[in-house]
Amino acid sequence: MSDPTDNSKDDSKRGQLARHRSLHPHPDQVTDPLFDADPFFDRRDAVQVKYEMLRAASVEGRPVSDAAAGFGFSRPTFYQARAAFDRAGLAGLLPAKKGPRRGHKLSEEVLDFAEAQLDVEPSLTMVVLAERVREHFGVQVHPRSIRRALDRRGKKNR
């Protein structure tokens, strides 16, 4: 039989939610009675809370402002969640990956420089080219990233 004072399972779930950026930022603001009635419902799980918020408005017909407030979110967050859910289903409620969406260090200027270096010296290795980019622009870029960016530009077979 499990010890009711053992919070290790609770702490483990909280850690997992935090690690996956699914921890509700304001679980104390979730006032909907659904989250008091059954331990299945976890006010710390932002994905579950957002889904239930959308369900309350859509299925139960609750006004958006009431649904958002009852689940600890703002109206803009409600509309963002609804758009994401409409676009991708439950997966749309998962938090988006943070960080740059592409090789932000490889600007057009850097790639133009790399191409010019290769035009002058076609036998240049990507390792040496990466070093020249670092010296000239002060940015550290992996040689393979340069190769891929040049390939996307149509500069293959170099």
pLDDT digits (tens, 9 = 90+) for 119-137: 999 999 999 999 999 999 9
Looking at the structure, do residues 85 and 117 belong to the same domain, yes or no? no
Q: Is 103 part of a structural domain of the chain? A: no
pTM: 0.59
- Is the pLDDT at 7 greater than 60, yes or no? no
Q: Is 79 part of a structural domain of the chain? A: yes
Q: Is 100 part of a structural domain of the chain? A: no
Looking at the structure, do residues 128 and 58 belong to the same domain, yes or no? no
The model's confidence at residue 96, banded by pLDDT at 50, 70 and 90, is confident
Last residue of a domain, one of 93, 118, 136: 93
Looking at the structure, do residues 24 and 83 belong to the same domain, yes or no? yes
- Is the pLDDT at 35 greater than 90, yes or no? yes
Distances (CA, A) of 44 to 11, 40, 52, 77, 127: 11, 12, 13, 16, 47
- C-alpha triplet 33, 88, 43: angle, nearest 5°: 20
Looking at the structure, do residues 66 and 113 belong to the same domain, yes or no? no
Looking at the structure, do residues 135 and 112 belong to the same domain, yes or no? yes
Contact 153, 122 (CB under 8 A): no
Query: For the chain, how many structural domains are there in total?
Result: 2
Looking at the structure, do residues 14 and 61 belong to the same domain, yes or no? yes
Average pLDDT over residues 136-158: 84
Q: Is 1 part of a structural domain of the chain? A: no
Looking at the structure, do residues 25 and 86 belong to the same domain, yes or no? yes
Q: Is 136 part of a structural domain of the chain? A: yes
Looking at the structure, do residues 112 and 88 belong to the same domain, yes or no? no
Q: Is 102 part of a structural domain of the chain? A: no
Share of the chain above pLDDT 90, in %: 76
Looking at the structure, do residues 49 and 78 belong to the same domain, yes or no? yes
Q: Which residues, in sequence order, are CB contacts of 27 under 8 Å at separation 6+?
A: 43, 44, 49, 72
pLDDT digits (tens, 9 = 90+) for 62-95: 999 999 999 999 999 999 999 999 999 999 999 8
**Looking at residue 8, what is its pLDDT?**
56
- Is the pLDDT at 5 greater than 70, yes or no? no
- Domain of residue 138 covers 108-152
Mean pLDDT of the chain: 89
